[in-house]
A = this chain, B = another copy of it.
Amino acid sequence: MQLRELGEFRLIERIKSKLSYSHRDIVKGIGDDACVTRIQTGKLLLSTTDTLIEDVHFDLGFISAHDLGKKSLAVNVSDIAAMGGEPRFFLLSLGIPSRISVKFIDQFVSGLSEAAQSFQTYAVGGDTSLSPERFVVSITVLGEALPSHAIYRDSANVGDQIFVTGYLGDSALGLKILKSRTNLSRVEERFRYLTERHNSPVPRVTEGRLIAENRIASAMIDISDGLISDLEHICRESMVGARIWLEKVPLSEAFQKYSKEFTENPTDLPLSGGEDYELLFTVDKFNVGDLERIKTEFQTKVTHIGEIVEKDNGVKVLRDSGQRYTVKKKGFDHFL
């Protein structure tokens, strides 16, 4: 079915019926001028927004509508996780070209709904409109955190140790595989783990919350631009430098097995590939023991990859030999 057969009002009703959720903190969800929610007493409001535009942030040949729905929410939830917060509600804004079918929207919404359930983050409002060419998804996630738990980018200190969750580079390698196959359906089963790491990232909400509640981290960020680029954000805001130990950067088995097939610079992908949506955080050395203790509750591994140094040293990647490694391209710039 085409959208022109359904019309805007019935489309909204259709989306609403799949995303509406009863919750004691949702006073008024989808369907009024604004949504009305309760923030728990004593907590701070966290909010973050990300707009994903077709052929800039995603290619519909490489990702299913279902996964795109999941990922659109996941990348925003990841920003809340990086603050040590708890995601609670979201607003969804869709710009839909006339070529997009109702079935596509249904699948997109089903992915979104699956992600909403898994993060316990519920739709409370949004809008839909026509878009001339590209499918546009804009999501705002609202979350909360106790004032003493929120973790910023600007409070890393010299001597802090640098940690990262999960494996880096899988997502960037997954994208390279997708591009080389020119279509999702042509990707061989053995590469599925890597392409799923790109199309269906898991934001580290549990880990972020545990780190926050136990006051483990001095600074934290999620890796969306790339390890070095995001570490530079922490360093710039905190006015410090950093040293990353190249051989310590965690690589998945699949990455080690297949990366050489798809890139001439397999070393660079985990450093600058981006879209890992893993947490990068700094820990005062007296808290490293606490991290060891709580990491048993993590759903993914955590790896010690470097340390914070004086600002004048900049951000450097070092080999075991002590030699400096230089990344060719640090991260993604939309306009360069």
Seen from chain A, the residues whose Cβ lies within 8 Å of a Cβ on chain B are 3-4, 6-9, 11, 27-28, 31-39, 41, 44-51, 53, 55-57, 78-80, 82-83, 85, 89, 91-96, 98, 124-134, 136, 138, 140-143, 145, 147, 150, 152-154, 220-222, 237, 333-336
Judging by beta carbons under 8 Å apart, are B45 and A39 in contact? yes
Residues from chain B with Cβ under 8 Å of A34 in the complex: 46-48, 79-80, 82-83, 85, 141, 143
Cα of A7 to Cα of B46 in the assembled complex, Å: 27
Judging by beta carbons under 8 Å apart, are A53 and B6 in contact? no
Oligomer copy total: 2
Residues from chain B with Cβ under 8 Å of A48 in the complex: 33-35, 91, 125
In addition to A35-B48, A38-B44, 7 A-B residue pairs with Cβ atoms within 8 Å of each other are A7-B335, A27-B147, A31-B237, A34-B46, A34-B80, A34-B85, A47-B47
Cα of A72 to Cα of B151 in the assembled complex, Å: 31
Q: Which of B83, B140, B220 contacts A36 (CB 8 A)?
A: B83
Judging by beta carbons under 8 Å apart, are B142 and A45 in contact? yes
Interface pairs (16), CB distance under 8 Å: A9-B333, A28-B152, A31-B153, A33-B82, A34-B141, A34-B143, A47-B140, A48-B91, A53-B95, A53-B132, A96-B334, A96-B335, A130-B335, A132-B134, A136-B136, A142-B142
Judging by beta carbons under 8 Å apart, are A8 and B335 in contact? yes
**Top 5 A-B pairs ranked by shortest CB distance?**
A34-B48, A33-B82, A138-B138, A33-B79, A51-B93
Residues from chain B with Cβ under 8 Å of A220 in the complex: 33
Residues from chain B with Cβ under 8 Å of A237 in the complex: 31-32
Cα of A8 to Cα of B224 in the assembled complex, Å: 15
Q: Which of B3, B33, B221, B333 contacts A335 (CB 8 A)?
A: B3
Contact A4 to B336, CB < 8 A, known contacts A33-B153, A85-B34: yes
Cα of A45 to Cα of B44 in the assembled complex, Å: 11
Name the residue of chain B whose CB is nearest to the CB of A28.
B152
Cα of A31 to Cα of B83 in the assembled complex, Å: 12
Judging by beta carbons under 8 Å apart, are B130 and A131 in contact? no
Residues from chain B with Cβ under 8 Å of A45 in the complex: 36-39, 45, 142
Contact A93 to B127, CB < 8 A, known contacts A33-B221, A333-B9, A335-B4: no
Cα of A134 to Cα of B98 in the assembled complex, Å: 16
